[in-house]
Amino acid sequence: MLIDHVTLNISAGKGGDGVVRWRREKGVPYGGPAGGDGGRGGDIYFRVIRDIQALAVYKHKKDWTADEGEAGQKRSMHGSDAKDLYLQIPIGSVVHNREYDITKEYTEEGDFLILRGGKGGLGNENFKSSTNRTPEEFTKGEKGEFATFDIELKLIADVGVIGLPNAGKSSLLNALTRAGAKIGDYPFTTLEPNLGAYFGYVLADIPGLIEGASDGKGLGHKFLRHITRTHALVHLVSAENDDVGAVYTTIRNELGAYDKKLLTKDEIVVLSKTDTIDTSEVEKKVKELKKASKAKVVYTLSLYEDETIKLFGDVLTASLKNAK
């Protein structure tokens, strides 16, 4: 199961405490203060990687804290700084820091500092003066920064394959990319996005949408957000539907209700499963789809014909080149 949204409570490490220590050397009975400073607490970084399953690590663990810095040592030696903590998130993540009300999108791989560890405390050596040669003062290490983060994955794909449940989206993805997505002759076979690569382009099979998806019905918001970063959409309408124009309009209405920008993306309209009806019916339904979508071309697709898949792949590649 794809985990694409988590909330984490994250704390950077506390700084180590300063200490009270004294020089103890042979022949030096009153050696003076020699307490070292504490080490710095561990910083927290997001490590952005190309793995859409990266958030699965946080399914059962929501609280993360970096190590504390080491306390100061005798002979004026500093405590060691703590190791920094790296939390992996997938590329394409949108992160909201509740503490500072800041939202950031991570669209490139790399390490990004999000919280700083606390400074180490001061040992008693720092408080020596001409009037106080035996200071007992020291300071504790500072607390590290803390924040609650909402992390939401938005897939970065070139193409979003959309349509009602059981329109043939996963079958098309498998035929083009050999992605191995689960398929079946019943609605909602796909319960999480599937990805495949087609001549360098990334295709995302978006789980079936239904009327009311923009209000959260069905799989709703969980997957509509994955469409927002695509360059183009492949909209499949199954020839098995009695009114293909109404089916097309239903999905377009949901896209617009969620984000009107989705309606401006390049769209390839496809009448799928044409092998389930006779030729005269195919022609009739192509006309209905053209009227509803106002598309100059509606492509027909039988998922069991290799030549049809190849021709459609050529169309898709040409469209993506223009989109980019």
Q: What is the mean pLDDT of residues 266-273?
A: 92
- What is the model's pLDDT at position 2? 67
Answer yes or no: is pLDDT of 240 > 90. Answer: yes
- What is the model's pLDDT at position 115? 98
Secondary-structure class of domain 159-323 per CATH: alpha beta
Please name the residue that has the structure tokens 């995302």. 204
Tokens of 169: 């989206």
- What is the model's pLDDT at position 235? 94
This prediction has a pTM of 0.66
- What is the model's pLDDT at position 218? 45
- What is the model's pLDDT at position 230? 84
- What is the model's pLDDT at position 173? 84
Answer yes or no: is pLDDT of 205 > 50. Answer: yes
Which segment of 41-45, 122-126, 152-156, 276-280 scores lowest on mean pLDDT?
152-156
Q: What is the mean pLDDT of residues 11-39?
A: 89
The angle, 0 to 180 degrees and rounded to 10, between the axes of the packed helices 169-177 and 306-323 is 90
- What is the model's pLDDT at position 40? 98
Other residues' Cβ atoms within 10 Å of the Cβ of residue 177:
20
Q: What is the pLDDT of residues 61-109, one digit of tens each?
A: 999 999 999 999 999 999 999 999 999 998 889 999 999 999 999 989 9
Answer yes or no: is pLDDT of 166 > 50. Answer: yes
* Three-class SS of the chain: CCCCEEEEEEECCCCCCCCCCECCECCECCCCECCCCCCCCCCEEEEEECCCCHHHHHCCCCEEECCCCCCCCCCCCCCCCCCCEEEEEECCEEEEECCCCEEEEECCCEEEEEECCCCCCCCHHHHCCCCCCCCCCCCCCCCCCEEEEEEEECCCCCEEEECCCCCCHHHHHHHHHCCCCCCCCCCCCCCCCEEEEECCEEEEECCCCCCCHHHCCCCHHHHHHHHCCCCEEEEEEECCCCCHHHHHHHHHHHHHHHCHHHHHCEEEEEEECHHHCCHHHHHHHHHHHHHHHCCCCCEEECCCCHHHHHHHHHHHHHHHHHHC
Find all residues with CB under 8 Å of 8, minimum gap 6, and list them.
Answer: 58, 62, 63, 64, 87, 148, 149, 151
Confidence of residue 204 (pLDDT cuts 50, 70, 90): confident
- What is the model's pLDDT at position 323? 59
Q: What is the mean pLDDT of residues 295-316?
A: 78
Domain spans in the chain, listed from the N-terminal domain onward: 5-153, 159-323
Confidence of residue 183 (pLDDT cuts 50, 70, 90): very low
Answer yes or no: is pLDDT of 181 > 50. Answer: no
Q: Which CATH architecture has domain 5-153?
A: Distorted Sandwich (2.70)
Rounded to the nearest 10 degrees, how much is the dihedral formed by the CA atoms of 57, 61, 64, 68?
Answer: -110
User: Do the domains at 5-153 and 159-323 have one common CATH topology?
Assistant: no
Q: Could you tell me what percent of the chain has a pLDDT over 90?
A: 51
Distance CA 170, CA 164 (A): 12
